Amino acid sequence: MFLQAKGVTHYFGGLCAVSDFNLNLKPNELIGIIGPNGAGKTTIFNLITGVYKATKGSITIDGIELVGKTPNQITGLGIARTFQNIRLFKDLTVLDNVRIANYSQSKYNPIEALFHTGRYDGEERRIANHAMDLLAVFKLQDYADEASKNLPYGLQRRLEIARALATHPKILLLDEPAAGMNPNEIGQLMEFIGWIRKEFGLTVILIEHQMRLVMGICERIKVLDFGATLAEGLPVEIQNNPKVMEAYLGEGGDL
Amino acid sequence: MTYILQQGLNSLQLGSIYALIALGYTMVYGILTMINFAHGDLFMVGAFLCFLAATFLHLPFVPTLLIAMIGVALIGVVIERFAYKPLRQAPRVSAIITALGVGIFLENFTLVFAPYPQHVPTLIKNTTWVIGGVSVSSLQLIIIALSLVLMVLLDFIVRKTMVGMAMRAISWDKTIVPLMGIPLNLVISATFAIGTSLGGAAGVMYALAFPVIDPYMGIMIGWKAFIAAVVGGIGNIRGAMIGGFILGGVEILVAAFLPSTYRDFVAFTLLLILLIFRPYGILGKPRPQKV
Amino acid sequence: MSKESSDNGNWKNWLSRQWAKIVTNRKLLPVLLVIGLLLSFAIPQFGLLNQYIVLILIYVGINIILSTSLNLVNGYMGEFSVGHAGFMAVGAYISAILTTKIIPDSLAPWLFPLVVFAGGTGAALIGLMVAIPSFKTRGDYLAIVTLAFLMIVKSLIENIEVIGGPRGIPGITRLTTLPWTFIWVVIAVWVIRNFVYSKFGRGVLSIREDEIASDLMSVNSRQVKMLTFVISSFFAGVAGALFAHILQFISPRVFDIIKSTDILIMVYLGGIGSIAGSILGALIFTILLEVLRPLGMWRMVLMPLVLVVLMIYRPRGIMGLREFRWFVPGYDLIATNLWRKKKEAKDVSTS
């Protein structure tokens, strides 16, 4: 199994944010996690990426245990993510935002960095070119020298995905990528996610509130409510699941 | 035993002065998340106002105290309006550097007029009683009692009055509160006035207890009171009081049992150890990072 | 009237063009460095400037090393360290002990670079220790840790009788010369610049911007923080060693919180996150204090006012987050353009 979570449980103080979360992710899959606000969706991302340490349970990638590893180690193992509220390095240029994500890919040591000798030159060139190529894929190359905070909102979202991809991930976690977008933009985003998935050979986990997006592109959906897994299955199954409707719309609701 | 009691009393005296200054740091931090590094120097200004009122106006204790508190409060409010207010949207560090600058300004401005250490006249007739081997001076009792009264008063203001409620609201969320019709600038001014006046009061008490004062006296005491605020949990008013008394106690006890040159060493080492186990101070709570 | 103003405009245009030429001409930099080095030898040798001005120049140099190295932690990484004088003290004491107690006087001038290096290394080791609390603590609490560190260093020195305790070490030979100062300034600025424009330096910036995001973008923040503190404190130690051998007397009081405050002012005056800013800040601070000397005590009243006014109009300092082109590695300036040209060439050849 590729990415596997077994019985992952997390408490904030006495509050159970995630309870007994299980996941078996196959390569190249695209799955969605949905659920009402506060259901623990982002917490799951934080547990996978090592921002929080799971109270109980285990998360493995290719059999390597992730619980207890630091975020940068986990990113090094091939998991990258974006954030619900954009977290770019605001004062830095677009190019630097992407180059920073190349940290573990740049192969030179501190001594070479201090004296700009050895592998420094070649690696810097390689990284800059790689970063520019990646920006070009996202049609951001013309903004390379611009401070990232000056980009319009939509481009900032795109830059965040570009930055995540610069870490050379196998798995990409997208946290509400459609937040703040209009229906037209959501349509473009759906195509875009499908395209990068193919282009970069990615496995994607998506957290989203926009049902159109989730139902449209996800192959499998997990529904969370109050930290517990409420339902799991194909989009059609989820749409017709009475428990899900109840969680979203109250009893007697209709999705 | 009597020795310990004696030192305990001394710690209470020093601790109450630290606590009063620490309160000023904590109040300003709580409301603006800014460290007002000029606060130690406002404490010094308080001591000098006490010196001026007592030497040139020949005023007795209570009016001197009031002059010092009101004077320092006014200076504090003026500083906030002209130096800190323009920086509310600026990076936090700019405000800290400005505060350091204001502090240096106050030190050197005072130095121009008082190049030599000054002697503060006796304002309170000091009588000493010996109770069971422990010598208790009236000055000590007044300092401790007055500090406690001021602290209780402050606690009351913050917890029970409208101004206090506004202060607590602003410390939660600075952007929402003005939308509720609370005059942000006025509340911030009030916070500065109250916080700095406590520093001024501490200056007067310090000048009475250790009557030789100089313009640089606020630097070390200011930093130490800041540490007291951190030990208690910065932003937390009761924490600042506890921190002040702890620091006073540690300093006096170290000086009592070890050569006095070890005082700072032990005090700061203890501080580091405390911060390892309670990184946010005794009463402080970590502000959760949202991801 | 109109002719005159247009003449004036032409003249200004010409000047700005020339200036642009100078700052973009990177070949000029090594030439200037060589001239600077030669001058630093010639000035004391032939008495081109009087002793007082030479002394001021040496202090400017030491202050440049201090402000540039502190800027690494406070400006680039966005922490608030107030302990720089503590690292300086470590460097000063190690070097002064070496030259006064261990190395024979006849050898001392020859071994001076090694002595300074030893001072820096000692400070760097201590810097490594201060880096450890920075893994978990940030902001105000890290500021306290550095303050506590400064006080502990000072207090320890006061309590060690062998090194003079509170009386300090007198009679240090004046070994800090203008050429040595110049060379160390160049080394410090060059190494710190190299660090800033490397993956580690970009890691430092990302920690300032958003530490959690930085960690999630594969930056090893512990490694970056350790390197930053080590380099910063190494050069503080170097500056301390140079300082001890020009002042010729050191005591714990020399390295108190006021010294740290001076360095902080230089950094924030010149501008955070900028090497040019640090150099400018050190220059302005040191020279202004000397120029204003006739004002007597009012000088120190005026200085902080200048700082406060500056902070209001330029909260990030004069050069805040901007860099003078000479300090940016050549490749970094043209990386995007090079890529574009290469791509254009490729597009042309494929079509």
Q: Per residue in A194-223, pLDDT tens?
A: 999 999 999 999 999 888 888 889 999 999
The candidate with the shortest Cα–Cα distance to C89, out of C189, C169, C178, C186, is C169
Question: Residues of C with CB below 8 A from B223's CB?
Answer: 147, 257
Break chain B into its structural domains and give their ranges: 31-225
Specify whether A221 is located in the same domain as A112.
no
Specify whether A138 is located in the same domain as A175.
no
- Buried b / exposed e along A18-35 (16+ C-beta atoms within 10 A): bbebebebeeebbbbbbb
**CB contacts < 8 Å between A and C, how many?**
120
- Of the segments A238-242, B183-187, C229-233, which one has the largest average pLDDT value? C229-233
CB–CB contact A132 C205 (8 Å): no
Phi and psi (nearest 5°) for B283? -105, -5
Q: State which residue of chain A sits closest to B288, comparing Cα positions.
A: A12
pLDDT reported for residue C1: 45
Name the burial class of residue A164, with classes exposed (0-12), middle (13-18) and buried (19+) by CB atoms within 10 angstroms of its CB. Answer: buried
- Pairing relationship of beta strands A3-12 and A15-25 according to DSSP bridges: antiparallel
Question: Residues of A with CB below 8 A from B290's CB?
Answer: 85
Sheet strand arrangement including A56-61: A15-25, A3-12, A56-61, A64-65
Nearest CB to B91 within list C307, C312, C316: C316
Task: Using the 3D structure, point to which of A150, A167, A184 is the last residue of a domain.
Answer: A167
Q: How far is CA A54 from CA A63, A68, C120, in A?
A: 17, 8, 42
Question: Rounded distance, CA B177 to CA B200, Å?
Answer: 29
Which residues numbered 80-109 in B keep a CB inside 8 Å of some CB on C? 83, 86-87, 90-91, 93-98, 100-105, 107-109
Question: Rounded distance, CA C123 to CA C233, Å?
Answer: 6
Which residues numbered 189-218 in C keep a CB inside 8 Å of some CB on A? 191, 194-195, 198-203, 205-206, 209-210, 212-218
- What tokens were used for B277? 């186990």
- What tokens were used for B119? 């002697």
CB–CB contact A128 C219 (8 Å): no
CB A160 within 8 Å of CB A135: no
- What tokens were used for C217? 């973008």
Element (H, E) at B241: helix B237-257
pLDDT reported for residue B287: 65
Say whether C5 sits in a helix, a strand or coil: helix
pLDDT at C81 over 70: yes
Residue B217's contacts (CB-CB under 8 Å, 6 or more residues apart) are B44, B47, B206
A83–chain B Cβ distance below 8 A for any pair:
yes
Tens-place pLDDT, residues C307-320: 899 999 999 999 99
Question: Residues of A with CB below 8 A from B291's CB?
Answer: 42, 46, 51, 83
Question: Residues of B with CB below 8 A from C312's CB?
Answer: 83, 86-87, 98
pLDDT at A171 over 90: yes
Measured in Å, how far apart are chain C's first and last C-alpha atoms? 56
Nearest CB to C304 within list B29, B105, B289: B105
A158 located within any domain = yes
Residue A167 or B288, more confident: A167
CB A86 within 8 Å of CB A176: no
Specify whether A179 is located in the same domain as A62.
yes
Q: State which residue of chain A sits closest to C213, comparing Cα positions.
A: A87
Minimal C-alpha gap between A245 and chain C (Å): 35
pLDDT reported for residue B290: 63
Q: Look up the ipTM and state it.
A: 0.92
CB–CB contact B279 C151 (8 Å): no
Tens-place pLDDT, residues A133-153: 999 999 999 999 999 999 999
A181 located within any domain = yes
Question: Rounded distance, CA B45 to CA B34, Å?
Answer: 21
- What tokens were used for C305? 């006012």
**CB contacts < 8 Å between A and B, how many?**
5
Specify whether A47 is located in the same domain as A162.
no
CB–CB contact C198 A90 (8 Å): no
pLDDT tier at C263, thresholds 50, 70, 90: very high
CB–CB contact B111 C297 (8 Å): yes
Amino acid (one-letter) located at B117: P
pLDDT reported for residue A1: 54
pLDDT reported for residue A58: 96
Question: Rounded distance, CA C165 to CA B262, Å?
Answer: 12
Q: State which residue of chain A sits closest to B289, comparing Cα positions.
A: A51
- What tokens were used for C105? 């006087």
- What tokens were used for B143? 């300092």
Minimal C-alpha gap between C171 and chain A (Å): 36
Query: Mind giving me the DSSP string for C103-150?
Result: S-TTTHHHHHHHHHHHHHHHHHHHHHHHHHHHHH--HHHHHHHHHHHH
Specify whether A182 is located in the same domain as A251.
yes
CATH at residue A21: 3.40.50.300
A83 located within any domain = no
Specify whether A153 is located in the same domain as A181.
no
Based on the structure, what is the number of domains in chain A? 2
pLDDT at C230 over 80: yes
Which residues numbered 36-55 in A keep a CB inside 8 Å of some CB on B? 42, 46, 51
**Average pLDDT in chain C:** 92
Question: Residues of C with CB below 8 A from B255's CB?
Answer: none
Residue C95's contacts (CB-CB under 8 Å, 6 or more residues apart) are C115, C116, C118, C119, C240, C241, C244, C245
Question: Rounded distance, CA A44 to CA B289, Å?
Answer: 16
Q: Give the torsion through C-alpha atoms of C230, C234, C235, C239, to 10 deg.
A: 150
pLDDT at B258 over 90: no
CB–CB contact B104 C159 (8 Å): no
Specify whether A255 is located in the same domain as A173.
yes
Question: Rounded distance, CA B28 to CA B187, Å?
Answer: 11
CB–CB contact A72 C202 (8 Å): no
Residue C351's contacts (CB-CB under 8 Å, 6 or more residues apart) are none
Say whether B212 sits in a helix, a strand or coil: strand
Tens-place pLDDT, residues A66-75: 999 999 999 9
pLDDT at A27 over 70: yes
3-state DSSP helix/strand/coil % of chain C, to nearest 5: 80, 0, 20
A128–chain B Cβ distance below 8 A for any pair:
no
Out of A62-76, B261-275, C25-39, C162-176, least confident range: B261-275
CB–CB contact B275 C145 (8 Å): yes
What's the domain range around A7? 1-78+169-255
Residue B249 or B235, more confident: B249
The per-type count for chain C, helices as H runs and strands as E runs, is 14, 0
Specify whether A70 is located in the same domain as A175.
yes
The per-type count for chain A, helices as H runs and strands as E runs, is 10, 10
Mean pLDDT of A150-166: 95
Say whether A224 sits in a helix, a strand or coil: strand
pLDDT reported for residue B61: 93
pLDDT reported for residue B161: 93
pLDDT reported for residue C13: 87
Task: Give the residue from A83, A88, A100 with the most C CB atoms within 10 Å of its CB, the best one to mutate.
Answer: A100
Break chain C into its structural domains and give their ranges: 30-263
Query: Mind giving me the DSSP string for B87-131?
Result: GTTS-HHHHHHHHHHHHHHHHHHHHHH--S-EEPPP-S---EEEE
Task: Using the 3D structure, point to which of A146, A167, A188 is the last residue of a domain.
Answer: A167
pLDDT reported for residue A253: 46
Task: Give the residue from A42, A53, A89 with the most C CB atoms within 10 Å of its CB, the best one to mutate.
Answer: A89
Measured in Å, how far apart are chain B's first and last C-alpha atoms? 54
Q: State which residue of chain C sits closest to B223, comparing Cα positions.
A: C147
A2–chain B Cβ distance below 8 A for any pair:
no
Task: Using the 3D structure, point to which of A117, A141, A167 is the last residue of a domain.
Answer: A167
Q: How far is CA B98 from CA B79, B85, B222, C144, C265, in A?
A: 10, 11, 16, 18, 9
Q: Nearest 5°: CA angle at B259, between B257 and B261?
A: 130
pLDDT tier at B125, thresholds 50, 70, 90: confident
Question: Residues of B with CB below 8 A from C147's CB?
Answer: 223, 227, 268
